[in-house]
């Protein structure tokens, strides 16, 4: 019998205040999850137009070609190593990030990268080009006065390789923490379905990849990770 049921069966007579309900850790966690879901649903009910926008965003995210982009990167690495333009052990630790901002009809981008090898930088840039079309930036919401006092929408793509993993991260600013949470939950459903589909197939790369969608404040992050051991194993197999 659950902790909730135990408390209800042992309730004090009606003329005395009942003792407080005591939840087990698992029961308390389920209650917290339910409260979170109700809060998100309540926010969407208060903003009915948001449902349509969320599904448009979900369609764009569903069309992300993450596996294809990473596969293309592995092929590029293999090709560059074969012509001695790249040594991944020497050049292969980096962080490369691109920001996109939109003000009215004006789009701007900026980059911060510590990649020293120009061949590797080109290969990394191709990951971004292969992974999506230019509709991706529209997943971000217009946020009032977010860019030096001007209304704008912002998104970013970060690609990094450490001693532990390769990662590809997309981030989008949303109009509020509630819309960010709703978007992260919806996008998580998409990648869960993709993961199940990949397990039924024979795509070796997909078996290594893990994608999670999370929200922090008013931002949504879609992060795909490939363990460094998996990356090295795939490259070694290609090299044979």
Between CA 135 and CA 93, with CA 202 as vertex, the angle to 5 degrees is 60
Hunting for tokens 């970060």 — which residue is that? Answer: 158
Q: The whole model's pTM is what? A: 0.76
Give the other-Cβ count within 10 Å of 204's Cβ: 13
> In tens digits, what is the pLDDT along the chain, a chain of 240 residues?
444 344 434 444 445 544 544 445 444 444 444 444 444 444 444 444 456 789 999 999 999 999 999 999 999 999 999 999 999 888 879 999 999 999 877 888 999 999 999 999 999 999 999 998 778 889 999 999 888 888 999 999 999 999 999 999 999 999 999 999 999 999 999 999 988 877 666 567 887 889 999 999 999 999 999 999 989 888 887 554
Q: Is residue 36 within 8 Å of residue 24, measured between CB atoms?
A: no
Domain spans in the chain, listed from the N-terminal domain onward: 3-45, 49-239
Between CA 146 and CA 202, with CA 212 as vertex, the angle to 5 degrees is 140
């Amino acid at each position: 019998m659950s902790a909730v049921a135990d408390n209800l069966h042992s309730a004090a007579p009606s003329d005395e205040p009942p003792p407080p309900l005591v939840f087990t850790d698992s029961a308390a966690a389920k209650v917290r999850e339910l409260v979170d879901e109700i809060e998100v649903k309540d926010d969407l009910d208060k903003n009915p137009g948001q449902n349509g926008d969320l599904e448009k965003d979900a369609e764009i995210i569903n069309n992300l070609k993450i596996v294809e982009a990473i596969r293309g990167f592995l092929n590029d690495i293999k090709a560059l190593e074969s012509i001695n333009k790249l040594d991944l052990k020497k050049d292969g630790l980096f962080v490369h990030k691109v920001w996109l901002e939109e003000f009215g009809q004006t789009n701007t981008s900026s980059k911060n990268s510590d990649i020293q090898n120009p061949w590797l930088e080109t290969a990394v840039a191709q990951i971004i080009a292969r992974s999506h079309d230019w509709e991706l930036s529209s997943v971000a919401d217009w946020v009032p006065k977010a860019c030096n006092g001007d209304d704008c929408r912002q998104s970013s793509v970060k690609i990094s390789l450490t001693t532990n993993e390769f990662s590809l991260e997309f981030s989008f600013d949303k109009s509020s923490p509630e819309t960010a949470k709703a978007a992260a939950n919806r996008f998580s459903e998409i990648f869960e379905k993709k993961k199940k589909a990949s397990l039924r197939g024979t795509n070796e790369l997909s078996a290594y990849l893990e994608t999670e969608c999370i929200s922090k404040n008013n931002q949504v992050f879609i992060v795909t990770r490939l363990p460094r051991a998996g990356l090295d194993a795939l490259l070694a197999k290609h090299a044979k």
